[in-house]
Amino acid sequence: MNNIAEQLKKIILSASQDLNLNVDENQISLEHPTDFKFGDYSTNVAMVLAKQEKKNPIELGKSIKNKLEEKMPDFIEKIEIAGAGFINFYLRTDLLVKLAEKFNYEVEIKNELSENGHGKTMVIDYSAPNIAKPFGIGHLRSTNIGQAIYNIYKTLGWNTIGDNHIGDWGTQFGKLIVAIKKWGDTNLDEMTIEDLERLYVKFHKESETDEKLIDEGREWFSKLENGDEEARKIWQKCIDISFREFDKVYKMLGVKIDYVHGEAFYQDMLTSVTKEIIESGITTDSEGAKIIEFENMPPAMLQKSNGTTTYFTRDMATIKYRIKEWNPDLMIYEVGVDQDLHFRQVFKTAEMLGWMPKNGFVHVAHGLIRWKNGKFSTRKGDTIHLADVIDKAVEKASEIANKSLIGKDLPKEQKDEMIKSVAIGAIKFNDLSSDPRKDVIFDWDQVMSLEGDSGPYLQYTYARCMSVLRKTQVKEQKNINTIPETLNNEELALLKEFYKFEEKVIEASKRFSPAVIAEYLLSIARKYNEFYGKHRIIDQKEEDFRIFLTRTTASILEMGLQILGINTIERM
């Protein structure tokens, strides 16, 4: 929370203690009333303490209010009691203006935000598309949410490290090598990601009637593990082909991840990590295998009976490497909810080994993406390719632009770039505006809406602000002295929303949810559009102040969309 909230909590604590109330700081919570007419901050502390002290909450609230007014800070205009004992605080208008001024010089608010995580390091594991398969829609969530969380922590001043943990090892590569050797009808150098996917699907179809293929796959993976030259060459080609595809998608999405470390990267560490874990005494033998047992969870297999390692072992080696390389305070894994048990086992093992404390790990487990009429198709070999979804979004954005005459005055190249930014922004926002743990409904009408809760709506609002700013003669604004004597409801609603930006970024970091910022930006956009629809801005006596509101709105939308990884558009 910002300094105002912290100061309020301190004076509430002090006032309660002055009344000899047995109060703990954790009992004092502050919220923003949904209607600003009920104040800027509200606390239910009187209701909480009344139950504890067996007193009337309204009467106790009045007593606390009286004490608060004796030591009321100068940024509070008034305090009121409402409902069953809520204590509501109203901030002074000149303070709200002062707080909003920071957004006119973004460096000021950015420096203030960056103080929150100074000296701390966070590693986030996200995206992780599958080698030899086109970038599927299922990996969109991990990529989008992971990048947004990365941006949130970076904004808050953390040393942030993004690590793309690619699944480039395992028995599936033995199967793929067999398929390439048997049915690959083109030079490997000329193969595409679609060719690799087709061959992998063919292997599984053929293996249903030819069980020998499975044995051949195992044999070729064994060769790969043992460094066979041909196996290694084919494996590397599959990785190169895959990354050509991934890089194209990342470029379209505007995503750049700091490091890419496949599972194969950790192969040389597996022996020492396995030895360390066994010597720690936390493993037990089970039919020749080494397992780790937990309370209230199934055991995890560290080493198979034939001495080979597992996916679990490789994730333990990954943690060991990240600790040694970056010594993070926090390690976040943005991976699907289906991996929940696996990561609980991994994190618990790291805690048992003393590698990192329990609160040093977070699994942000995202839900599925669904059509509004059900799940994406799961027929064998039928994946939803992200590139196809992006192409469809561009097509939809073009239709909207042509029907609504949006961008009619823009040169073709600029209009095409605008349409692409709208399309990508729409897909991203549809994903990010929901709590990561919930399934996302993919409804084209909602995704591309210029009026609803969508990315294009925010981009359109930003473009509207920029249009107003291009028309005004009022330029640089700092130390605003021309506050109208009486503000209308729409002006007040905006002013009382601006200062929450920092709180929302911090809340998003604590909840690991970009949706907090998305909802806040929608609130700002709705309030600005209501203000814009009811009041003239240019050539009015209040023009200075209304331009200030417009410029602040634009600045907040720009910073917020930047955190979400969505482009702003100056002209639509």
Class of domain 386-435+443-564: mainly alpha
305 membership: H or E segment, kind and range: none
Fold exhibited by the domain 3-91: Gyrase A; domain 2 (3.30.1360)
Helices vs strands, H then E, count in the chain: 21, 14
Question: Hey, where are the domains in the chain?
Answer: 3-91, 386-435+443-564
For residue 273, CA distances in Å to 204, 263, 286, 433 come to 34, 14, 19, 40
CA–CA separation, 150 and 155 (whole Å): 9
For residue 320, CA distances in Å to 122, 277, 326, 354, 371 come to 15, 11, 10, 11, 39
Collect all residues with Cβ–Cβ distance below 8 Å to 100 and sequence separation of at least 6: 495, 498, 499, 548, 552
Encode the chain (572 residues) as per-residue pLDDT tens digits. 457 888 899 999 999 999 999 888 888 999 999 888 899 999 999 999 998 888 999 999 999 999 999 988 889 999 999 999 999 999 999 999 999 988 887 788 888 899 999 899 999 999 998 888 888 777 888 999 999 999 999 999 999 999 999 988 888 899 999 999 999 877 888 899 889 989 999 998 999 888 899 999 999 998 998 889 999 999 999 999 999 989 988 998 999 999 999 988 998 999 999 999 999 999 999 999 999 999 999 999 999 888 888 889 999 999 999 999 999 999 999 999 989 999 999 999 999 999 999 899 999 998 877 766 655 543 344 456 777 778 888 888 888 777 776 667 778 888 888 889 999 998 899 889 988 888 877 676 766 666 778 899 999 999 999 999 999 988 766 667 678 888 999 999 999 999 999 999 999 999 999 999 999 999 999 999 999 999 999 998 889 999 999 999 999 999 999 999 999 999 87
pTM of whole model > 0.75? yes
Q: Nearest to residue 325, comparing CAs of 391, 420, 259? A: 259
